[in-house]
Amino acid sequence: MFNIWINKQDDEFENNGNLAENVLLFNLFDKNNKSNVKTDAEQLWRRFGNQTLSDITEDLLVIAISIFCADKRIPRRRSSDNWTRNIKLYLPVLEMEKWILVKNDLEKTLGFLSGDNWIFEFRKSTSKFRANKKNTKYKLIDREKYDSVSLFSGGLDSFCGALTLSDKQKNTCFVGFREYNLLTNRQHELFNEIDKAYPALSKELILFNANPLAPLQRGGEKTKLGSESTSRSRSFLFLAGAVAIASILGDETPVYIPENGFIGINVPLTDSRNGSCSTRTTHPIFLKSLNHILQSVGLKHKISNFYWDKSKGEIVAEHKANPVFKRSAHRTLSCSHPCLSRYDRKYDKSIEIPCNCGYCYPCLIRRASFLTTGKDSTIYNSVYRINKEFLTKYNNLQGRASDLKAVLFSLRRYYKHKDDGEYIRTLLIRQGPLSTDEIEAYERLYHKSMSELLEMIRFEDSRNSGGLMEYLGIKELLEDAQLS
């Protein structure tokens, strides 16, 4: 069990003598130079001229930052199965009674999201987070002009989501998480293109970050645990920031998280990828659970995904005639490691960083979606071509070809059981129960998304020396199905 204490004021930890010696410490003090969590989350409310958030909204944000700190700084390799961690967080909150009522639900919801075992111990706090001043270097935002909040990562789905909201004449505050400085310019570039195309609408992009340094030991020394690269809880922090802004705009202001439903339902590509090896951010179980928690503590901002029943190809097809899409969609970033390529010795030096690698799972779905437009102008890393040679050269468990191999396996499994409705529905509920209407919608979506992936494999075969359709016997399986 990893025990982690979160400080909001200098004397909280030292005045508690009942804790074990192995408790680790994260400081969230007003001054960044005294804290081992570097964050500018205060911009979420200072941009509106506020000195603080409401107590319950502040609690949500502090809890989310604390979870993210633990997630990033407790390596999964330290757990018995190299994945599932047991983490106990000692959390300072202003509305302790409300959080105690939802403690079990919150632990289960975050466990579903990250794949870990969480225990939250709440204690009463009286100090406000980052409330030492209210000035900001930015021009103040007039909250009266906005009616919605939407996540804006710089990815293709969130970019299309911004176009959908703009077409519907929504005045939206877009929220982005700035985990890597290299991504910031791209996020602003994409937002500015949308801003210019819809001048009559009010819109704003607010970026914030949280960068946890090594946790401290009781004596003040830094630990040497290392860091964790998966950060499954980042989306929870992302959403907490969006809810913080929504709470300033007004009661019941909606929060949108646009993402294609195929990623959302998260059918494991292979049996070994079941669970938290893939994101569950927009899975209906997570969103329903999170919305229930928000309602229970008095936050009336519903989080929803208006793309929940659409494939990525269907989303792209909706916007392919939009001039902003035509001009800028290829600049969006779907890649799971858009900044990593700069450290790759075989990286194509002519490509601008950040970029889409072209071979990770999100990039493969991206490739498939752009086939609906007839043209993909995205510049992928040209060193790695999607063909059989790529599969055989990088064929190991964690190699570059692991995602492509998993996609091919899932296609083979799908076309082997394509007409077995019961089998498909079993895959859809692998992560948890769904309603009858949800199962019906996701079943259609799954068939559509798998056909998009198959067309992408065929297309890559046609231009990259072939071999993918023969891999795992997919071509033979399809031919047998046509004969029968």
In a domain, 9, yes or no: no
pLDDT tens by residue, 49-94: 999 999 999 999 999 999 999 999 999 998 888 889 999 999 999 9
pLDDT at 14: 59
pLDDT at 347: 67
Q: Which amino acid is at 282?
A: T
In a domain, 141, yes or no: no
484, two tokens: 């029968």
In a domain, 134, yes or no: no
- Flag the least confident range among 143-147, 292-296, 466-470: 466-470
pLDDT at 410: 95
Q: Which amino acid is at 219?
A: G
In a domain, 415, yes or no: yes
Q: How many CB atoms lie within 10 A of CB 266?
A: 24
Can you tell me the distance from the alpha carbon of 306 to that of 286, in angstroms, rounded to the nearest whole number? 15
pLDDT at 212: 95
Please classify residue 326 by burial: count the beta carbons closer than 10 Å to its beta carbon, then call 0-12 exposed, 13-18 middle and 19+ buried: middle
pLDDT tens by residue, 191-245: 999 999 999 999 999 999 999 999 998 777 888 888 888 888 999 999 999 999 9
How far does the chain reach from its first CA to its final CA, in angstroms? 55
pLDDT at 32: 72
Q: How many CB atoms lie within 10 A of CB 481?
A: 12
In a domain, 225, yes or no: no
Exposed e or buried b per residue across 187-224, where buried means at least 16 C-beta atoms within 10 angstroms of its C-beta: beebbebbbebbeebebbbbbbbbebbbbbeeeeeeee
> Of residues 135 and 408, which shows the higher confidence score?
408
pLDDT tens by residue, 430-474: 989 999 999 999 999 999 999 999 999 999 999 887 789 988 788
pLDDT at 299: 98
Nearest to 365 by CA among 413, 315, 331: 315
In a domain, 386, yes or no: yes
User: Which residue segment(s) compose the domain that 405 sits in?
Assistant: 334-483
pLDDT tens by residue, 312-347: 999 999 999 999 999 999 999 999 888 765 556 566
Segment 345-368 shows an average pLDDT of 87
Asked if the model's pLDDT at residue 183 lies above 70, the reply is yes
233, two tokens: 């809880």
In a domain, 201, yes or no: no
> Of residues 94 and 134, which shows the higher confidence score?
94
Asked if the model's pLDDT at residue 275 lies above 50, the reply is no
pLDDT at 484: 47
Tally of domains in the chain: 1
Segment 394-405 shows an average pLDDT of 80
* Mean confidence (pLDDT) of the chain: 91
Q: Where are the beta strands (DSSP E) in 241-344?
A: 255-256, 303-304
> Of residues 156 and 269, which shows the higher confidence score?
156
In a domain, 288, yes or no: no
Q: How many CB atoms lie within 10 A of CB 392?
A: 11
- In the structure, what pLDDT confidence band is assigned to residue 272 with cuts at 50, 70 and 90? low
- Flag the least confident range among 45-54, 95-104, 111-120, 460-469: 460-469
pLDDT at 202: 98
